[in-house]
Amino acid sequence: MLKKISITSIILMILFLLIMPLKTYATSVGTIYISPSNLNQENGSIFTISLMINPGTSVNAVQANVNYNPNYLQYVSNSISGSAFPTCVQDSPQSTAVIFSCTILSSSVNSNAEIATITFKAINNGSTALTLSNANAANNGSWTNPASLNSSVNIYTPAPKPQPKPSTNNSVTTSNQNYSTTSQSTPSSSPATTPNQTKPKTIKPNIYIKSINQQISADQMKVIISTNLAANVLIKYGLSPINLNQQILNSKNTTNNQLSLTNLLPNTTYYYKIFTSLNGQIITTSQLNSFKTNGLTITITVLTKNFKPIVGQSFYLNNFKNKATSNQNGQVIFYNQSPGNNQLIYFINHQENKQGFYVPTVYFNNQLINQKVIMALHQYHLAALNQSDLAGLITILLFIIGITARLIIGHKHHLPKTTNDLSLNK
């Protein structure tokens, strides 16, 4: 027991010394800012902003809160796939802020670089601001105190386009009169000037969709659309069947159109329509279609208060239909799950315990990464860290001890004794 206490104390002391700034720069160095600084967005549109840093010196850690007004903007998602700081702790997005704490372990950043991107949906007309708070950067334990630059968003509904006025024959009649005046001797010698001559009708080609083949993953849908004649294909899609506010076009005239809908949300239903066109003219429109993206695989390693794996016990994720049993390594695997806020349900002495944890949307080389969670279960207490291995766990601790502390308290409810029971006295 003394040996365990000694090792734990040493680890905590090392982590504390590593993350706490030893000094602060006397003046502000560098800038943390939101790009672009001004946006004009149509109401209902989805757009992405970048959280950036121009450090002014070498830095290896950064933190910032991006604050927004939920009356005008709706949070959709965030990504660190292009971040210069590949290891991030992301708090559960608040109703008014998205919070980042990021680091780079093997080197440092000394030029203009991306920290993260955030996607919003414009939901109301008006002007609103995206502001930064708690923004700072560190250089080997020393705060650099960079300046902060905010951004503004103007949301509008476009005015309806004026309808073209119907054409008249006045100009044709005038032309004919002028012709007759200068050529009275042969008024009928030019049949091309007949004002009421009927133009031949343009016949649309009979293009139709023969087949649609979909390949769906957690964050994209690849589709091959086969048509009977070569044509362009346009797909309009969105989260609502009455608001298809995103689109993708294959401008090649071909009978096999291959398109990819990317940056989709996992475990989410999308709606879309297919349009075929030729020479800029819409020929056919499909019926409304839908698809659902695959969910993430969430692997939870559950440990006793003595850090031993809990084997052969039942756990539930978010509801009692979503059940899994821990294996010999203490791993509980749930398939087709959503990122964001989740809740693990387990039982101690016939009492139900619920504990929330957050699963971020993480990309690596433009691929969505399945998440692994390590949980140490104590009596009515659960500490959860989102990371794929022990090295990642230590990295997250470096930030959590220095920047934020998260204690989540479970709620107790009595259930019938037939419920599978989890004993923590192992």
Ordered mean pLDDT values, 10 residues apiece, the chain (426 residues): 40 42 62 90 90 91 92 89 81 78 84 90 91 90 88 84 59 40 44 57 76 89 91 92 91 88 90 88 87 88 80 91 90 88 87 84 68 61 37 43 39 41 46
Any domain includes 422? no
Tally of domains within the chain: 3
Q: Is residue 177, in this structure, part of any structural domain at all? A: no
Q: What is the CATH number of the domain that holds 69?
A: 2.60.40.680
Domain identity same for 310 and 408: yes
Q: What is the pLDDT of residue 66?
A: 93
Evaluate whether residue 95 is within a structural domain: yes
Asked if 202 contacts 267 with a C-beta cutoff of 8 angstroms, the reply is: no
Domain shared by 248 and 304, yes or no: no
Q: Do residues 214 and 275 share a domain?
A: yes
Residues 269 and 238 in one domain: yes
Q: Is 324 a member of any domain?
A: yes
Query: Is residue 5 in some structural domain?
Result: no
Out of 156, 173, 197, pick the residue that ends a domain: 156
Predicted pLDDT at 387? 35
Q: Are residues 313 and 268 in the same domain?
A: no
Residue 226 sits in a domain whose CATH number is 2.60.40.10
- Residue 12 belongs to some domain of the structure: no
Tens of pLDDT, residues 105-144? 778 898 999 998 999 999 999 899 999 999 999 888 788 8
Boundaries of domain holding 76: 23-156
Shared domain for 277 and 314, answered yes or no, is no
* Residue after which a domain boundary falls, among 276, 292, 308: 292
pTM over 0.85? The answer is no
Are both 318 and 407 inside the same structural domain? yes
Same domain assignment for residues 133 and 27: yes
125 found inside a domain: yes
CATH code, 362: 2.60.40.1120
Residue 80 and residue 32 in one domain: yes
Do 96 and 32 share a domain, yes or no? yes
